[in-house]
Chains A and B, each alone.
Chain A
Amino acid sequence: MTAAALPSAISVLVPIVERHDDLRELHRSLVPELLKLERPYEVIYLVSAEFDAAFEQARQLHDADAAHVRVLRFARPVSEAAALASGFERAQGEVVLTVPAYFDADLKGIGLLYAALGDGADFAFASRTERSDGWLKQIQARGFNRLSAWATGTSFRDVASGTRAVHREVLVELPLYGDFHRFLPVLAERVGFRVREIPVPQDARAAAPLVYRPRTYLYRLLDLLSMFFLSHFTRRPLRLFGALGAVFGALGAAILLVVGVERLFGAPLAGRPILVLGTLLVGLGVQSLTIGLLGELMLFFQARDVRDYRIAEIIECAEPPLPPRSSARA
Chain B
Amino acid sequence: MQSAAGSLSVVVCVYNEEDNVLPLLERALAVLRPLGRPFEIVFVDDGSRDQTRARLEAAAAAAPELVLVKLRRNFGQTLALQAGFDRARGDVILTMDGDLQNDPADIPRLLERIEDGADVVSGWRVNRQDAMVLRKLPSWVANRVIQAATRVPIHDQGCSLKAYRRDVIERLSLYSDMHRFVAVLTMPTGARIDEIPVHHHARIHGESKYGLSRVFKVMVDLLTIQMLTRFRESPSRWFALLGAPFLIGSLSAALWALWLGAAGTVASVVSVELGLVFVSCLFAGIFGEGVIESSRRPVQPRLGVRELGGPR
User: Which residues of A are in contact with B by a Cβ distance under 8 Å?
Assistant: 70-76, 78, 86, 90, 189, 191-193, 235-236, 238-239, 242-243, 269-273, 275-276, 279-280, 282-283, 286-287, 289-291, 293-294, 296-317, 319-325, 329-330
Contact = CB atoms under 8 A, between A and B. Distances in A.
A65 B220 CA distance: 61
Given A193-B72, A314-B87, 17 more contacts: A189-B73, A192-B72, A235-B175, A270-B267, A276-B266, A283-B274, A293-B227, A297-B288, A301-B292, A308-B75, A308-B79, A309-B71, A310-B71, A314-B68, A316-B60, A317-B64, A321-B64
A290 B281 contact: yes
A88 B294 CA distance: 33
Interface in B66-96: 66-73, 75, 79-80, 82-83, 86-87, 89-90
Contacts of A282: 277
Contacts of B227: 293, 296-297
Q: Contact size class for B?
A: 35 or more
B64 A78 contact: no
Interface in B136-191: 170-171, 173, 175-177
A294 B291 contact: yes
Interface in B262-279: 263-264, 266-267, 269-270, 273-274, 276-277
B276 A307 contact: no
Contacts of A293: 223-224, 227, 239, 284, 288
Contact of A290 (B284, B309, B310): B284
A74, A189, A305, A315 — which one has the most chain B CB atoms within 10 A of its CB? A315
A243 B170 CA distance: 32
B258 to A, nearest CB: 12
B249 to A, nearest CB: 8
A300 B223 CA distance: 14
- The 7 A-B pairs of least Cβ separation, nearest first, read A192-B72, A72-B310, A301-B295, A192-B73, A309-B79, A322-B89, A73-B309
Contacts of A72: 308-311
28 contacts: A71-B310, A71-B311, A72-B311, A90-B310, A90-B312, A189-B73, A235-B176, A236-B175, A236-B176, A243-B220, A275-B266, A276-B273, A290-B242, A296-B224, A299-B175, A301-B295, A305-B173, A308-B79, A309-B79, A309-B80, A309-B82, A311-B70, A315-B56, A316-B66, A320-B40, A321-B40, A322-B38, A324-B89
B39 interface: yes
A76 B274 CA distance: 48
A315 B273 contact: no
Interface in B229-288: 232, 235, 239, 242-243, 246, 249, 256, 260, 263-264, 266-267, 269-270, 273-274, 276-277, 280-281, 284, 287-288
B57 interface: yes
A243 B292 CA distance: 25
A287 B280 contact: yes
A28 to B, nearest CB: 23
Interface string B108-141: 0000000000000000000000000000000000
Contact of B67 (A75, A301, A308, A320): A320
B92 to A, nearest CB: 11
Given A238-B224, A271-B263, A319-B64, A283 B273 contact: yes
Contact of A297 (B89, B173, B292): B292
A236 B224 CA distance: 9
A314 B83 CA distance: 11
Nearest to B175: A235
A307 B73 CA distance: 14
B97 interface: no
